[in-house]
């Protein structure tokens, strides 16, 4: 049995879930990606959120990942995710604690980084051995081929050692032994209460996995690469946020985070699918596409995103013995992009778009036609 919105909009809460959590009264439909349907409801006199994972052949997998990640993250205090009140795996529905989307502080990335470290520290080796979540999936040989092909298309010589450097980079990124609880898309619009570490809650964990926390700490340098609200964090603020992350992670786990941040950033650079929204990550060579046509996704264009990432990696690989060839290549590619497309704009500063995604999520969509 289904509860119904007036006007024909359905709230997919069946009898079994209602028996477990109560009967929610719908208030309004909330904006969300095409891969989910979200409602604000009233449950026992208090606000709550109903989410249904939809769209694509991987919907069941995304639902299972989110439920698992929410339960693993529930170990963290203060909370770092909304409380999971109830779940219906057959309908892929979750009932979640409602967390108000308050305005973000100007230095929100510091609290974001500390909260991210607490999320990452929620899991340990036992969770990896139990296969609680899939292992993080990084760049592949196809990404290397596309990145090298981009250089050839733009007429930039590839130093002879670069393909080997990138192959060894993939080996380092995929090394076993990492067990951090990764969000999968820790963007500002997937965070609520971005005013302090204690208030920050992460939502939409459909792509959660276990891996190295560095691949998400790298968001601070790479401009939040999987996000529509891509931004450049000013260096002083970024340094403060990274210090907060490492201090929090060490306090929670008693250890330092293993690995190299430079490797994580280089991994994001060569991933062409991080230039488009998730629904369009279909295996196409997006690095090749941007040589013919630029496109805007959210707050920046594809060429603007790539130029930022090239500049970051070129700087970070200076005097790096493992990525010396990549340093020369990224510096040359960055210069070529600036010469060929001089109107390419830099990313907006994080302080100019504080948690812009949260504002987007609060817009009420147009009602669907009956």
Which residues of the chain register pLDDT less than 50?
Answer: 1-8, 356-370
Q: Residue 224: name the closest of 264, 185, 181, 180 by CA.
A: 185
83 burial class (0-12, 13-18, 19+ CB within 10 angstroms)?
A: middle
What residues does each domain of the chain span? 3-98, 108-358
Q: What is the length of the chain?
A: 370
Residues 31-73: pLDDT tens digits? Answer: 888 889 999 999 989 999 999 999 888 999 999 999 999 999 9
Task: Supply the pLDDT for residue 352.
Answer: 67
Q: What is the pTM of this model?
A: 0.91
Torsion of CA 142, 170, 241, 245, to 10 degrees: 130
Q: Does 3-98 carry CATH code 3.30.200.20? A: yes
Task: Supply the pLDDT for residue 57.
Answer: 87
Q: Residue 287: name the closest of 304, 309, 268, 302 by CA.
A: 302
Cα Rg, the chain, nearest whole Å? 21
For 101, the token pair is 């989307």
Residues 204-245: pLDDT tens digits? Answer: 999 999 999 999 999 999 999 999 999 999 999 999 999 999
Task: Supply the pLDDT for residue 359.
Answer: 41
Percent of the chain residues topping a pLDDT of 70: 92
The residue whose two tokens read 């959210």 is 298
Task: Supply the pLDDT for residue 231.
Answer: 93
Task: Supply the pLDDT for residue 357.
Answer: 42
Task: Supply the pLDDT for residue 354.
Answer: 52
C-alpha–C-alpha distance, residues 309 and 307, integer Å:
6
Fold of 108-358: Aminoglycoside 3'-phosphotransferase; Chain: A, domain 2 (3.90.1200)
| DSSP string across 160-228 | TTHHHHHHHHHHHHT-S---EEE-S---GGGEE-TTSTTT-EE---TT-EEE-THHHHTHHHHT-TT-S
């Amino acid at each position: 049995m289904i509860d119904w919105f007036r006007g024909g909009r359905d709230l997919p809460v069946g009898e079994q879930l209602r028996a477990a959590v109560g009967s929610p009264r719908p208030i309004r439909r909330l904006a969300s990606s095409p891969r989910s349907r979200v409602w604000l409801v009233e449950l026992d006199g208090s606000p709550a959120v109903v989410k249904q994972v939809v769209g694509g052949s991987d919907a069941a997998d995304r639902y299972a990942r989110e439920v698992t990640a929410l339960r693993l993250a529930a170990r963290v205090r203060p909370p770092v995710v909304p409380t999971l009140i109830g779940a219906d795996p057959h309908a892929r529905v979750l009932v979640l604690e409602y967390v108000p989307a308050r305005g973000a502080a100007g230095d929100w990335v510091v609290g974001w980084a500390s909260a991210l470290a607490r999320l990452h520290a929620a899991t340990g080796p036992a969770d990896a051995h139990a296969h609680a979540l899939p292992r993080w999936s990084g760049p592949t040989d196809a990404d290397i081929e596309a990145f090298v092909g981009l250089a050839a298309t733009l007429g930039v010589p590839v130093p002879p050692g670069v393909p080997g450097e990138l192959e060894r980079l993939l080996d380092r990124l995929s090394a076993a032994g990492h067990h951090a609880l990764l969000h999968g898309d820790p963007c500002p619009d997937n965070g609520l209460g971005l005013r302090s570490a204690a208030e920050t809650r992460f939502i939409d964990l459909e792509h959660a996995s276990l891996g190295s926390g560095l691949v998400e700490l790298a968001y601070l340098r790479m401009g939040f690469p999987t996000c529509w609200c891509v931004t450049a964090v000013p260096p002083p603020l970024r340094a403060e946020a990274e210090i907060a992350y490492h201090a929090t992670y060490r306090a929670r786990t008693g250890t330092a985070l293993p690995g190299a941040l430079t490797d994580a950033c280089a991994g994001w650079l060569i991933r062409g699918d991080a230039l488009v929204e998730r629904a369009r990550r279909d295996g196409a060579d997006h690095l090749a596409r941007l040589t013919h046509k630029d496109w805007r996704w959210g707050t920046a264009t594809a060429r603007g995103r790539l130029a930022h990432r090239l500049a970051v990696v070129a700087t970070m690989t200076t005097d790096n013995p493992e990525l010396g060839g990549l340093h020369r290549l990224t510096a040359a590619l960055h210069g070529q992009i600036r010469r060929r497309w001089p109107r390419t704009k830099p990313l907006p500063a994080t302080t100019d778009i504080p948690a812009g995604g949260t504002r987007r999520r609060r817009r009420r969509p147009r009602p669907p036609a009956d």
